[in-house]
Structure 1
Amino acid sequence: MVQKGDFIRITYTGRLDSGEVFDTTDEETAKANNIHNENKRYGGEVVILGAKHTLAGMEDELEGKEAGYSGKVTIPPENAFGRYDAALIQDIPITRFPDKPQSGQRVVIDGKYATVHVVMGRHVRVDFNHPIAGKTVTYDYTIEQKLESPEDKISGLLEMYAGNKFKIEVSGDTASVEVPLALALEKQWLVAKALVATDMLKYGGIKELVFIERFTQEALNPAKPA
């Protein structure tokens, strides 16, 4: 039975009341509904119940189910992407945008995502509501697997946050992860490893998580072919 703090892998497809598919873990479904994202990893997502990795309504639905269970749940706005709040529509000086914004464009302002509504001379009207705020959503889902071992839990989180394969070793309550040099040099890795460590130390049953990043002259300065 799935409980809060458990690591699970789920697959799902989300639809609006109109039947429009807005999110899915299935690549073919994404392509068929013109929402395919080349940067997204399809095939399933690892979530920790109680860690706010998924919608509140979905967490409530998943809790108490067994691995292998397939179901369908309809979630109201307050437990999905929030109620629509007109106060979150704001006019921002166009000088805040590095490039000329376009209507419908998704932008980041002060670390928050927003949608451009309209450009009005020197100002841009943006909406900080989630694009699906105020809407009821329905998910068809399957709990594919409950992750039990520390290795599987770490691997699942790394896949979610970093999208890479890693060598993982666990000894007692300490785990170590070999980090590919190419990834270690990326800025987003600083955030990803902090998220993985926070989740594992809180929910994963280990007391120490070590990331091994090896820097060598050969790796940083590969020999050029003669």
Structure 2
Amino acid sequence: MPIEKGDIVRIAYTAKLEDGTVIDTTDEKIAKEFGIYSEDYRYGDVYVIVGERNVVEGFEEDLIGKEVGYKGTVKVPPEKAFGEYDPEKKEVISIARLKEKPRPGDRIKVGDRVGVVERVIGRRAIIDFNHPLAGKSIIFEYEIKEKVEDIAKKIEAIFMIYTGMEVKAKVEGKKAIVEVPRNFHFVPYAPLNKVSALARIFKYLDIEEVEIVERHKKAEVPSFEEVKEEKAEEKEEKTEKTEAEAKEEKTEEKGKTEDELKAEIIPEDVKS
């Protein structure tokens, strides 16, 4: 059966620019080959709910009408990828608003917006708030591996899409029981993203109730001594910064307004 809106499919893909530059892929080997590998990224096939924009619009549209096993390529224009480039989205800000002097290419956060430093002129910086891929066509080479049919598997796929975590689900009538990992509530944003997952379950599946289960076994629960030791190690790591460094940072921030502290350079290790 052809893929339709509302279907959940498992796909593999590699995204490139028109000059052949690989910008994203589900294949770990390709990521390493083209120098875009990240230890924080989960490689392997991904699930997509067709119609929910889990991938860019133009790519999603190309999935519709295809069948499992399809392999192909689609060129997605800017307006259906990351948008057209808008020169009006450039702004000039005073570098006094930043905790450290910016350099061209730095990504910085100003309020709730993220931009890239284009140029630094004296005490001012020109920030481009366009998406880094705005104005570019993206070429997707992809394969449709599976169309998920089983309701329990659909629930597991939905949780993977929105929380990034593997869960176990079973269905009893119109009730779903979802067992989440023991660390589920400690993973940043997972509990919040759970709400997004539940919304899609109720939207696309004939489910009236979802029970979330966090299961623990005696043998898997660490002893009080182990927890205490782990906490001590964490505390030791956090106090590696000397009092002199902490005092220096405090001095630098003293006197800055709240608005000034809203602008910050995004460290290299958290760029995406």
Q: Same fold (TM over 0.5)?
A: yes
SS of aligned partner of 1:71 = strand
| TM score, norm. by length of structure 2 | 0.73
Counterpart-to-counterpart distance in 1, 2:97 and 2:175: 46
**Superposition deviation, residue 132 in structure 1:** 1.0
Counterpart-to-counterpart distance in 1, 2:181 and 2:105: 37
SS of aligned partner of 1:177 = strand
How many residue pairs were aligned? 225
Structure (1 or 2) with the greater helix fraction: 2
Whether contact under 8 Å (1:68, 1:144) holds in the other structure is: yes
The superposition leaves residues 141-183 of structure 1 with CA deviations (integer Å, 9 ceiling, x where unpaired) of 1011111122212222222333333232211122122223322
Deviates more, 1:142-151 or 1:154-163: 154-163
**Superposition deviation, residue 100 in structure 1:** 5.0
Whether contact under 8 Å (1:201, 1:209) holds in the other structure is: no
Name 1:138's counterpart in structure 2. 139
5+ residue gaps, structure 1: none
**C-alpha RMSD of matched pairs (Å):** 2.6
**Superposition deviation, residue 186 in structure 1:** 3.4
Whether contact under 8 Å (1:2, 1:63) holds in the other structure is: yes
Whether contact under 8 Å (1:89, 1:125) holds in the other structure is: yes
Deviates more, 1:154-163 or 1:132-141: 154-163
Deviates more, 1:20-29 or 1:148-157: 148-157
Say if 1:216 and 1:140 are closer, same or farther in 2 by CA, change over 3 A: closer
**Superposition deviation, residue 122 in structure 1:** 5.0
Structure (1 or 2) with the greater strand fraction: 1
Say if 1:99 and 1:68 are closer, same or farther in 2 by CA, change over 3 A: farther
Name 1:125's counterpart in structure 2. 126
Say if 1:43 and 1:218 are closer, same or farther in 2 by CA, change over 3 A: closer
Name 2:237's counterpart in structure 1. none
Counterpart-to-counterpart distance in 2, 1:174 and 1:98: 51
Counterpart-to-counterpart distance in 1, 2:148 and 2:100: 44
SS of aligned partner of 2:189 = helix
Counterpart-to-counterpart distance in 2, 1:68 and 1:124: 50
Name 1:73's counterpart in structure 2. 74
Q: Which has the larger radius of gyration?
A: 2
Q: Taking every aligned residue pair, what percent have the same amino acid on both sides?
A: 38
Deviates more, 1:216-225 or 1:187-196: 216-225
Counterpart AA for 2:197: V
Whether contact under 8 Å (1:3, 1:64) holds in the other structure is: yes
Counterpart-to-counterpart distance in 1, 2:210 and 2:94: 44
Query: Structure 1 residue 27 and structure 2 residue 15: aligned?
Result: no
Deviates more, 1:15-24 or 1:205-214: 205-214
Whether contact under 8 Å (2:163, 2:197) holds in the other structure is: no
**Superposition deviation, residue 9 in structure 1:** 1.0
| TM score, norm. by length of structure 1 | 0.87
Say if 1:219 and 1:189 are closer, same or farther in 2 by CA, change over 3 A: farther
Counterpart-to-counterpart distance in 2, 1:169 and 1:4: 24
Name 1:53's counterpart in structure 2. 54
